[in-house]
Every structure is written in structure tokens, then in C-alpha cells.
């Protein structure tokens, strides 16, 4: 029997955490490429003394785009990589200073739209973490590849 590998993306810093655990493709009764690329995902966040968990719907292209941007940061160490989904459940902005230090601005929203609750905080890490983060995203994009006709393709 083949054991299923745990698939997640996780950044942590001194007790703060952002963790995405993609669970399954959402099966919409549609022939549109757009509707075949949604992934139900558990989100865990902890910033300071505040923490929470919620479910969010992300697109396969969100994970692939973020993986590609983060890979470029590994080579350059300066610039940004962004994870920002269409619905507004989570925004991550990773900024490199050019010498190996990275800052992550986090904005988590449990229910985008009217009466939404948000948690914002900042974390940090160094360049030694990037390879593992890219590998985590690579496992996600292999399990949930982009299907259909999009401008971005799986690498």
C-alpha cells in the first residue's frame, strides 16, 4: 500500500506561522478551464498571540505562479514573490533585501467580502529556507497541476 505524502506549504518564524494544506480539487459542474482549477485548502495562521484556521478556495495557478516567483528570488535574493488569490483569502508578499534576508507580509482573511475578519503580521526568514519552500510548492503543483488553457504553465 502506498502511503500518501503530506502536502503543505509552511512558513514559520519564532512562533508565527502560515500553513496551507491543499485537500482536494473542487468539482464544479462546468466545462470551463477556470472552474476545473479550484483547490479546497485549509489555512492555518498565527501572528503574535492571534491565531486561527479556516478553509479557503485557491486556484492551481496561484500555487504555480508563487512557486515560479519564489524560485527567481532564490537566484536573485532581491525582489518580491507574491501569493494573492482571486477571492482574497490570503496574501503573502515576500521581499528580499539582496543579501539573503526575507520579510513576509501576511494578510489572512477568513471570509472575504462584507464583515470579513483579517489578521495582518510580518515574519522573516533567510535564504536557506527558500529551497524547501519551493519544494513544498512543487509537491502541491504536482498533486494539483494546472489544467486547461492558461497563460501560466506548470514548470
Average pLDDT of the residues in 76-85: 95
Q: Bigger pLDDT: 51 or 6?
A: 51
Model's pTM, two decimal places?
0.93
**Domains parsed from the chain with CATH numbers:** 9-143 (2.30.31)
CA torsion sign, 66 to 69 to 72 to 76?
negative
DSSP 25: E
SS3 label, residue 73: helix
Average pLDDT of the residues in 127-135: 96
pLDDT given for residue 4 in this prediction: 56
The pLDDT confidence band at residue 34, using thresholds 50, 70 and 90, is confident
The span from the CA of 132 to the CA of 119, in Å, is 25
CA distances from 90 to 9, 41, 51, 134 (A): 13, 11, 14, 18
- Four-point Cα dihedral 88, 92, 72, 15, nearest 10: -150
Amino acid at each position: 500500500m502506498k502511503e500518501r505524502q503530506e502536502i503543505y506549504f509552511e512558513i514559520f518564524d519564532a512562533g508565527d506561522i502560515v500553513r496551507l494544506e491543499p485537500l482536494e480539487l473542487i468539482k464544479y459542474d462546468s466545462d470551463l478551464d477556470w472552474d476545473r482549477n479550484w483547490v479546497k485548502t485549509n489555512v492555518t495562521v498565527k501572528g503574535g498571540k492571534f491565531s486561527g484556521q479556516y478553509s479557503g478556495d485557491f486556484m492551481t495557478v496561484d500555487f504555480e505562479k508563487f512557486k515560479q516567483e519564489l524560485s527567481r528570488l532564490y537566484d536573485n535574493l532581491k525582489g518580491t514573490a507574491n501569493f494573492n488569490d482571486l477571492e482574497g483569502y490570503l496574501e503573502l508578499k515576500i521581499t528580499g533585501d539582496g543579501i539573503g534576508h526575507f520579510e513576509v507580509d501576511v494578510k489572512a482573511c477568513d471570509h472575504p467580502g462584507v464583515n470579513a475578519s483579517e489578521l495582518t503580521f510580518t515574519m522573516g526568514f533567510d535564504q536557506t529556507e527558500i529551497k524547501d519552500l519551493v519544494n513544498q510548492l512543487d509537491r502541491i503543483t504536482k498533486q494539483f497541476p494546472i489544467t486547461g488553457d492558461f497563460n501560466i504553465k506548470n514548470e
